Amino acid sequence: MSATDLSVVIPVGPGDRAWPALVAALDALAPELDVLLVFARGDVQSRPKDRRWIEGRPGRAAQQNLGARATAGSSLWFLHADSRVDAKALEAARDFVRRGANAIGYFALRFGDGPTLMRVTEVGVKLRCRWFGLPFGDQGLVLPRSVFDGLGRFDERALFGEDMALVRRARRAGITLQSLPATISTSARKYVQHGWWRTTWRHLRLTWGRA
């Protein structure tokens, strides 16, 4: 598999300091991998000196679209800055790309921190994907660039839920959502900051299309 077949796009929100650990993990797993960090313009945090990065208008949708335009991979893997991947996840993403599926791949999700109730959330994520076929962006969406462009990319008008909007458009277009045989972990910091019940209710509204 060519190093240009898969590009990883990591949007970094204002004040987000989680990205160095993700970048270090990707470097250790595959130093040849095309990885691009997309910072929010105006964010005062320092930029890496040994890593390719760009900056643009704040907003996850806008940053991810900008990152997609600035990379050359035939497939794109969107990872949140607080995601953590292992060798199995990387191989699953690469295998998905090698198969050339006209689909969107996503991973099982595990929370690496947070309250005990996060175990309930993990079960909820599994059921949401199994029953409704609706993965969220923190599940590491990977897809061919042609599919991403054909779906109109992420909706930059959305204040949040841009990942769900893309997935819903894919379903309407007959694009398959494929569960990949690996897990990525993420942080439960939003649940800690905003409360488990409030965050869960917001995600339920996104699932039901009422947010």
Domain residue ranges in the chain: 6-207
Q: Which residue has the tokens 């054909």?
A: 150
> Going by C-beta distance under 8 Å and a sequence separation of 6 or more, which residues neighbour residue 141?
77, 78, 104, 105, 106, 135, 163, 166, 167
Distance between CA atoms of 204 and 96, rounded to whole angstroms? Answer: 29
Token readout for 38 is 């997309």
For the domain made up of 6-207, the CATH class stated in words is: alpha beta
In percent, how much of the chain has pLDDT > 70? 87
CB 161 within 8 A of CB 206: yes
Q: Is the pLDDT of residue 193 over 70?
A: no
Closest by alpha carbon to 163, among 86, 111, 106, 82?
106
CB 60 within 8 A of CB 40: no
Cα-flanking dihedrals φ and ψ of residue 72, to 5°?
-115, -5
Q: Is the pLDDT of residue 197 over 80?
A: no
Whole-number CA gyration radius for the chain = 16
Strand order in the sheet with 75-78: 53-56, 34-40, 6-12, 75-78, 142-144, 103-111, 176-186
Tell me what pLDDT residue 211 has: 37
Instruction: List the single range of 98-102, 120-124, 154-158 with lowest mean pLDDT.
Output: 120-124
Tens of pLDDT, residues 149-181 = 999 999 998 777 899 899 999 999 999 999 999
Tell me what pLDDT residue 210 has: 42
Q: Is the pLDDT of residue 66 over 70?
A: yes
Tell me what pLDDT residue 203 has: 64
Within 10 A of 117 (CB to CB), how many other CB atoms are there?
14
Tell me what pLDDT residue 35 has: 97
Within 10 A of 96 (CB to CB), how many other CB atoms are there?
23
Most confidently modeled range among 6-15, 38-47, 123-132, 179-188: 6-15
CA distances from 167 to 9, 34, 157, 177, 200 (A): 17, 24, 16, 8, 19
Mean pLDDT of the chain: 88
Mean pLDDT of 58-86: 96
Tens of pLDDT, residues 199-210 = 667 666 766 664
Closest by alpha carbon to 124, among 114, 134, 137?
134
Tens of pLDDT, residues 107-120 = 998 987 767 876 88
